Structure 1
Amino acid sequence: MPAQVGRPVYVRAATRIGVVHFGPGAFHRAHQAAYFDDLLAIDPDWAICAVSLHNPGVRDALQPQDGLYTLALLEETVRLRVVGAIREVLCAPQQRKAVMARLVDPQVRLVTLTITEKGYCLSGDGLDAAHPDIARDLVSPEQPISAIGWLVAGLRERRARRLSPYTVLSCDNLADNGGRLRRAVLDYARRIDRGLAAWIESEVSFPRSMVDSITPATDDALRTRVASALGVADAWPVQREPYSQWVVEDDFRHGRPPLERVGVVFSGEIAGYDRAKLRLLNGPHSALAYLGSLLGLDTVARAMRDPALAGFVERLMREDIVPTLALPAGFDAQAYVDAILSRFRNPAIRHLLSQIAWDGSQKIPVRLLGTIADALAAGHDIDRLCLPVAGWLHFVARQARSGEALVDPLQAPLLEAGRRATGDAAHDVETFLRLQPVFGALAGDARFVEALRGAYATLAPGDAAAVALALAAAQGPQP
C-alpha cells in the first residue's frame, strides 16, 4: 500500500483475542476498535472477536479481508489507516457454538456492546420482559437471540466452569449505560436462575462509559476514495471525524485493558462528562440548528462560516454554559470548547441542520432548559441562553405556516401552537409554554417567561434579516 496509508504496527498473528464485541457497526469499528488497534502495539492481549447479533453483512464483508478494513479520518486532507484489531468476525444466529466458545474463553476478560438503545430491550429503567426477543430467550435461555440473553448465557457457563466472569462494558450513547445494563441483566438472570443472578450481582462489573465521535455512514464515495488510495478494494470501509473521546468508569474486577495509554480517560465521574457533552456540544448544536435554519443555512460547517452566528455560539458556550457546569476533576472546559468549535468548523463533515433540528421537544429540555434552570438558580443572566429556545419556537411556527414536515414526537401539539402564532411575543410564548412535557416548572418562572418573550420578540418575524440583527445585538460588549 502507499506509504501515507497507516497500518497496524504490530504482528497480528501474535495478538490474542481478549474482547468480544456485540454490534460491530460503523461506530464500533471507527471508534473503539481504533483504540484497541493502538493498544495492540503495546499489549497484544486485547484483539477483538466481533459478533453480529442478527445480520451476517459485516462478517461476510470482513471475513475475506481477514478482519482488516480502512478507517478514513475526515478533515481537509483525508487520512486513511487500516485497522487490524478485529481478529475474528462471527454472526451469532449462524455460529452459536463459536460465539459461546469465545464467551467462555479464559483469555476473554471484556465484553463490549454498541447495539443502540433499542438493542437492550429496556422498558423505563429496567428490562422489557414482554419484548419478543426477551420473552423467547426466557423460554430457551440456552439458545439466546438477544444481547442480554447472550451476556447471561456466557456468564452462566463461566460460573459452571468456575471461571472468572468478564467485565461488561456498554459503549452506547445511553444515560447511565452501565447501570441500566446491569439492572437489565440481573432482572433477566433472576427470572431463570436466582443463584446465577446473585453471583452476577457480586462478581460482575458493568462500568459506565461515554463515547463521542461523528461517524457518517459508509457510502459509495468513500468506497471509491479508499479503493483509489489503497489500490485494493475494501468491502466495508468506515469514516469519522478526527476527534474522538472515550471515557470509562474504572470498575473492572478481573483485569482491564490499559486503554489510558492510548487516550481513553478512566474516571469515576461519567455523569459529569455526559453533562458536559450534553450541554457544551449538543446544546450549541441545537442553537446552530434552529438559528442557522432561520438564516437559510444547511450544515453545521456552513453555519460556522457565518461570523455572527459562530461568535454567538462561542460566547454562549464560554460565558453562559461553562459557568453552570459541575465539571469532573481535571476537566479543562475551555480546551473542550476549543475542540468542539474546531469540530463544528470541519468542512469534511456534512452535518445537516435539518437533522439536528429533529425531535426538539425531547432535545431542548436536556440540552438548553437544564442550563437555563441552573443559571437562574445561580442568579445569572439568561438572555443569550433563551435565544436558541426562541429560535426553536420560530422554527416550529415557520414549519406550521409553510406546511412543511416537523419531525417530533409532539408534532401535533407543536404544529397547532405554531399555527396559532400571531407574531405577538406575549401571545405566542404563552401558547408554547402550555406544552408542559417540554417546559415543566420553567413555564411558571416569571424570569424565564420574560427572557423568552424578549428573545422571541428580538427574532420576530423569524426571517434571516431579523435573526442576523438579533445575533449582532446578542454579542454585546466583549469582556
Structure 2
Amino acid sequence: MTVRLSSSNLAKLPSKVSGPKYDRSSLKAGIVHFGVGNFHRSHQAVYLDDLFNTGLGHDWALIGAGVFEGEKAGRARLEAQDWLTTVVEQDEGHMSARVTGAMVDFLTPGDAAAIIEQLADPAIKIVSLTITEGGYFIDPASGKFNPAHPDIVADAQPGAVPKTVFGIILAGLVRRRADGIVPFTVMSCDNIPHNGHVTSDGVIGLARLIDEDLANWVRDNVAFPNGMVDRITPATTDRERGILANDFGLEDNWPVFCEPFKQWVLEDHFTAGRPPLEKAGVQFVKDVSPYELMKIRILNGGHATIAYPAGLMDIHFVHEAMQEPLVRGFLAKLERDEIIPTVPPVPDTVLEDYYQLIERRFSNPKIGDTIRRLCLDGSNRQPKFIIPTIADRLKAGKGVAGLALESALWCRYCFGTTDSGAVIEPNDPNWDRMQATAKAAKDAPGAWLAMDDIYGDVGRSPVFAQAFAHALNVLWANGARETLTRYLAGQL
C-alpha cells in the first residue's frame, strides 16, 4: 500500500520517509526561482528546507517560474502534490528519502505579466536561476553576452512583452524602480564560470539596448553574487518513480534522485538581505572564483572526459563507464597530466583529494546517471568546461594531447554513430550543425576547429590543430577502445 504525496498526507508519510519539521502554512515567499528542474530541487530547495527545519528563514520560501512551454508539464506534476518534492539520496551503502516543502507556488511558465507582478512584490528579495548553460545568451567563442541574439533583440523592442528570463527580470526591476522598492538580488545557480558576472552582463546588456540610464541603474543598484553549486542529479524516469514506490511506499509524480554530496559556495553580496543559509551548510566567501574554477575544470571537465568515449563504446550509465578501465584511466591521466595543473590553489583544499572525491562520486552505482546526459549540449558545455583549459595549456607552452583527444572524441560522437554502428540520436541544440561539421571533419579535421564561435583562438592554434587532427585520425582508424589504449600507453 503506497501513500500519494500531498499536503494532506504529510502526517501519513511512510516510516522510512522524513517530512518537513515546520508548518508550511506559516511560510512566506521571499525568492522567485526560474528553472524548476531536478538540480534546483535537489540543491537550493534542499538547503532552504534544511534551514526551515531549524526554525529559521520562514519568510524565504520559493515560488517557481519559467519561460518555456515545456516547463508547464513539470509545474502540473508539482501542483498535483501541492508543490512538494521527494528527494532520494543514494550511494553504494546508503539510501534515504525525504519530502521537501520549501516551494509554496509555481507561476504559469510564460505568463510574463503574472511573473512580473510577483517580482514587483517587496516581499521578493532574491530571484534565482537554474536555466542551464545555454540560457544566458553567451557567444561561445568570446564568452560574452550576445546582444544580437534574436530573442534579446525582440525583448528590447518598445512595448514588447518579454519572453526571456532576462527580459522578465528586467521588467520586474523596472517596476520596483518606479515604485521606489529596493531591487531584488539576482542569483545564478548554474554551472557557469563567474555566473554572477555572466548574469549581470545579460541583464545589463539587455537594459542597455533599451535605455542607457536603466542599464547604469541596474549596474549600480542590483547585486549579482557569484556562486559555485554542486550535486550530481540525473533526470527522473519511471525507474526512479518505481524505486520510490516499491522501496519507500511513496508515490511522487516527479521525485529527485541524487548523490548524498552537495556543495554551495556563495559570495555574500545581496541587495535586500538573504536567508541565513550558513546555518544550513552554505559556505559564504569573499571570492568564489577559486572554488568554481576547481569544480568546473575537475568535475565538469571530468564529466566531459568520460562522456564521449563511453558514448562511443555504447556504455549507458556513468558508473559503468567508471568500471571500464580504459575510461577510468583516461579520466585519471587527463586530469592529473593536463587539467589539474591549470587549477590554482583553492583555500583549505587539496586538489588531489578533491579529484579522488570526484572519482568516487562518478563511480556511485546507485545514481543511475546516464552517459547520454553527460554528452548533451556539448556546443554550450565544451566552451565553458574544456576549451579554456586548452587555452591555458597552450599559453603556458604545455602539452595538449589528452585534451585534443577529448575534443576528437566529442567530434567523433557528433558524427552520430557509435563504434558499433549504433545510431546516436540528436543530443545537442545545434545537432544538425554539429553532425554536418563532424562529417566534414572526418576527412578534413580542421573543419571542426573552424567553428570559431566555439573554439575561438584555440581552433587557430597550429599546435592544437595538429594534436586534434592526429587524435581524430587515430580514432577513425582504430575506434575509441584502441585509441584510449594507445593514449594510456603514451603511444598516441
Task: Report if TM-score (shorter chain) is over 0.5.
Answer: yes
- Structure 2 residue aligned with 1:371: 389
- Structure 1 residue aligned with 2:283: 265
The answer to whether residue 34 in structure 2 is matched with residue 16 in structure 1 is: no
Match of 1:169, SS?
strand
Cα displacement string for residues 49-71 of structure 1 (whole angstroms, at most 9, x for unaligned residues): 22344554444433453322211
- Structure 1 residue aligned with 2:173: 155
- Structure 2 residue aligned with 1:41: 53
Structure 2 unmatched runs, 5+: 1-12
User: Quick one: distance in 2 between partners of 1:353 and 1:51?
Assistant: 29
Q: Does the CA contact (< 8 Å) of 1:129 and 1:135 recur in 2?
A: no
Cα displacement string for residues 245-299 of structure 1 (whole angstroms, at most 9, x for unaligned residues): 3333322123222223323233444444443333212333333234334555343
User: Quick one: distance in 1 between partners of 2:491 and 2:284?
Assistant: 38
User: Quick one: distance in 2 between partners of 1:237 and 1:317?
Assistant: 33
- Structure 2 residue aligned with 1:87: 104
Aligned amino acid, residue 253 of structure 2: A
Q: Does the CA contact (< 8 Å) of 1:247 and 1:265 recur in 2?
A: yes
Match of 2:196, SS?
helix
**Residue 227 of structure 1: CA displacement?**
3.6
The answer to whether residue 486 in structure 2 is matched with residue 470 in structure 1 is: yes
441-450 vs 157-166, greater mean Cα deviation: 441-450
Map 1:228-243 → 2, pairs under 5 A: 228-229=246-247, 231-243=249-261
Match of 2:251, SS?
coil
**Residue 22 of structure 1: CA displacement?**
2.6
**Residue 340 of structure 1: CA displacement?**
1.4
Aligned amino acid, residue 221 of structure 2: E
Map 1:29-428 → 2, pairs under 5 A: 29-42=41-54, 43-44=56-57, 45-53=59-67, 56-76=72-92, 77-91=94-108, 96=113, 99=115, 102-116=118-132, 125-127=145-147, 130-131=150-151, 134-135=154-155, 138-139=158-159, 145-189=163-207, 196-229=214-247, 231-293=249-311, 295=313, 297-354=315-372, 356-357=374-375, 367-378=385-396, 380-389=398-407, 391-392=409-410, 399=417, 404=423, 408=431, 409-418=433-442, 420=443
Q: Does the CA contact (< 8 Å) of 2:416 and 2:424 recur in 1?
A: no
Cα displacement string for residues 92-114 of structure 1 (whole angstroms, at most 9, x for unaligned residues): 666956x5564344333211123
Q: Does the CA contact (< 8 Å) of 1:128 and 1:134 recur in 2?
A: no
User: Quick one: distance in 1 between partners of 2:176 and 2:416?
Assistant: 58
Taking only aligned residues, the RMSD between alpha carbons, in angstroms, comes to 4.1
Could you tell me the TM-score, scaled by structure 1's length?
Answer: 0.79
Aligned amino acid, residue 106 of structure 1: P
User: Quick one: distance in 1 between partners of 2:61 and 2:153?
Assistant: 29
Aligned amino acid, residue 170 of structure 1: S
With over 3 angstroms needed to count, the CA separation of the structure-2 counterparts of 1:285 and 1:20, relative to structure 1, is closer
**Residue 196 of structure 1: CA displacement?**
4.9
Q: Percent identity?
A: 35
User: Quick one: distance in 1 between partners of 2:266 and 2:417?
Assistant: 41
Cα displacement string for residues 68-122 of structure 1 (whole angstroms, at most 9, x for unaligned residues): 221122434432110011123332666956x556434433321112334565567
Q: Which structure has the bigger radius of gyration?
A: 1
430-439 vs 77-86, greater mean Cα deviation: 430-439
User: Quick one: distance in 2 between partners of 1:439 and 1:140?
Assistant: 34
Aligned amino acid, residue 251 of structure 1: H
User: Quick one: distance in 1 between partners of 2:472 and 2:151?
Assistant: 44
With over 3 angstroms needed to count, the CA separation of the structure-2 counterparts of 1:89 and 1:412, relative to structure 1, is closer
With over 3 angstroms needed to count, the CA separation of the structure-2 counterparts of 1:138 and 1:403, relative to structure 1, is same
With over 3 angstroms needed to count, the CA separation of the structure-2 counterparts of 1:35 and 1:304, relative to structure 1, is same
With over 3 angstroms needed to count, the CA separation of the structure-2 counterparts of 1:117 and 1:322, relative to structure 1, is closer
User: Quick one: distance in 2 between partners of 1:12 and 1:317?
Assistant: 45
The answer to whether residue 25 in structure 2 is matched with residue 7 in structure 1 is: no
Q: Does the CA contact (< 8 Å) of 2:157 and 2:210 recur in 1?
A: no
Cα displacement string for residues 343-401 of structure 1 (whole angstroms, at most 9, x for unaligned residues): 21122334444554466676556544543443354454545555444555666789599
Aligned amino acid, residue 266 of structure 1: F
Cα displacement string for residues 325-350 of structure 1 (whole angstroms, at most 9, x for unaligned residues): 22444443223212211121122334
Aligned amino acid, residue 50 of structure 1: G
- Structure 1 residue aligned with 2:8: none
User: Quick one: distance in 1 between partners of 2:365 and 2:279?
Assistant: 30
Aligned amino acid, residue 413 of structure 1: T
With over 3 angstroms needed to count, the CA separation of the structure-2 counterparts of 1:260 and 1:319, relative to structure 1, is farther
Q: Does the CA contact (< 8 Å) of 1:459 and 1:467 recur in 2?
A: yes
213-222 vs 132-141, greater mean Cα deviation: 132-141
Match of 1:153, SS?
helix
**Residue 17 of structure 1: CA displacement?**
2.0
- Structure 2 residue aligned with 1:26: 38
With over 3 angstroms needed to count, the CA separation of the structure-2 counterparts of 1:10 and 1:474, relative to structure 1, is farther
Match of 2:200, SS?
helix
User: Quick one: distance in 2 between partners of 1:46 and 1:317?
Assistant: 40
Q: Flag the structure with more relative contact order, 1 or 2, with Cα contacts below 8 A and sequence separation at least 6.
A: 2
Match of 1:217, SS?
coil
With over 3 angstroms needed to count, the CA separation of the structure-2 counterparts of 1:177 and 1:138, relative to structure 1, is farther
